[in-house]
């Protein structure tokens, strides 16, 4: 999720191009006097805008919304298992990469591993997750009953919300760092400070949006548990 791009037209919401200049001088002797002549190399213009940075931050928001969509108190949804990881073949892997889940009823999920031999391992991972689920295996399939949420389960779901929100903030701040790395190359001090403020303002807006999404999801969890 980089903050620097090549040429691009100025669009609404983008920053104007900034020339980042590198100067070097060379001395050469001419004539008997040996006078030094400074030769200034050609400028190397770099166009900088927030397009790529915004795209990275937008992806962080979209990923957060997708991850939180599966957290629904008291209702079976396949996405609720996406946060769970199991140690299979020496790797700690998300369940969505190890099999498929389908809704059999509002309170029952059926999970089918791609590799039947991993069923017990995956069932244990589900059982040990913070969601408080108690799966049972039937052959190569795993049946997961979704009980009415307890206070402990609700607290666990909210913890997942906070974890996902924190990861989104980390991604957004990483995009900010990439943008700032480019801004630091701007030679004009006033322009550099202006761009730094712009990057920070955009970052703060996305971080606030993450907070709003997290609060809304926690409120939804409470409402659906009643």
Give dist(CA 26, CA 31) in Å, integer.
Answer: 16
Question: Model's pTM, two decimal places?
Answer: 0.60
pLDDT of residue 226: 53
Render pLDDT for 58-76 as a digit per residue (tens, 0 to 9): 999 999 998 888 777 667 7
Nearest to 154 by CA among 223, 104, 209, 211: 223
> What would the mean pLDDT of 102-111 be, rounded to a whole number?
90
CA proximity to 112, closest of 134, 139, 148: 139
CATH (residue range 47-65+152-224): 1.10.132.20
What is the distance of C-alpha 128 from the center of its chain?
25
Angle between helix 51-69 and 189-224 (nearest 10): 10
Which uninterrupted H or E stretch holds 54?
helix 51-69
Q: Give the residue from 40, 44, 42 showing the smallest Cα distance to 17.
A: 44
**What is the DSSP secondary structure assignment for residue 218, as one 8-state letter?**
H
Alpha-carbon distances of 14 from 9, 47, 109, 152, rounded to whole Å: 9, 11, 46, 46
Residues, the chain: 226
pLDDT band at 186 (very low <50, low <70, confident <90, very high): confident
Provide the 8-state DSSP code for 145.
E
The residues spanned by each domain of the chain are 47-65+152-224, 75-147
Domain 47-65+152-224 identical in fold to domain 75-147 = no
- When the pLDDT of each residue in the chain is averaged and rounded to a whole number, the result is 79
Tell me which residue has tokens 């480019």. Answer: 182
Question: What CATH number was assigned to the domain covering residues 75-147?
Answer: 3.30.1360.40
Tell the residue number behind the tokens 């999720």, with chain if given. 1
Is the pLDDT score of 49 beyond 70? yes
Q: Which of residues 142 and 33 earns the better pLDDT score?
A: 142
């Amino acid at each position: 999720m980089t903050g620097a791009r090549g040429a691009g037209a100025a669009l609404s919401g983008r920053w104007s191009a900034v020339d980042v200049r590198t100067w070097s001088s060379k001395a050469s002797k001419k004539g008997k006097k040996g006078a030094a002549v400074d030769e200034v190399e050609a400028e190397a213009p770099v166009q900088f805008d927030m397009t790529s940075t915004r795209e990275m931050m937008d992806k962080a928001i979209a990923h957060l919304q997708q991850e939180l969509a599966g957290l629904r108190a008291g209702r079976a949804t396949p996405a609720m298992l996406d946060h769970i990881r199991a140690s299979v073949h020496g790797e700690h892997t998300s369940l969505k990469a190890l099999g498929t889940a389908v809704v059999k009823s509002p309170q029952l999920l059926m999970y089918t591993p791609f590799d039947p031999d991993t069923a017990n391992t995956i069932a244990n991972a589900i059982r040990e997750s913070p969601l408080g689920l108690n799966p049972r295996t039937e052959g190569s399939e795993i049946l997961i009953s979704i009980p009415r949420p307890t206070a402990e389960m609700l607290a666990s779901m909210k913890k997942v919300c906070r974890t996902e929100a924190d990861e989104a903030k980390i991604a957004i701040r990483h995009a900010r760092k990439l943008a700032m790395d480019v801004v630091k190359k701007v030679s004009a001090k006033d322009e550099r400070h202006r761009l730094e403020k712009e990057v920070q303002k955009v970052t703060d807006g996305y971080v606030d949006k993450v907070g709003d999404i997290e609060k809304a999801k926690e409120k939804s969890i409470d409402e659906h548990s009643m």
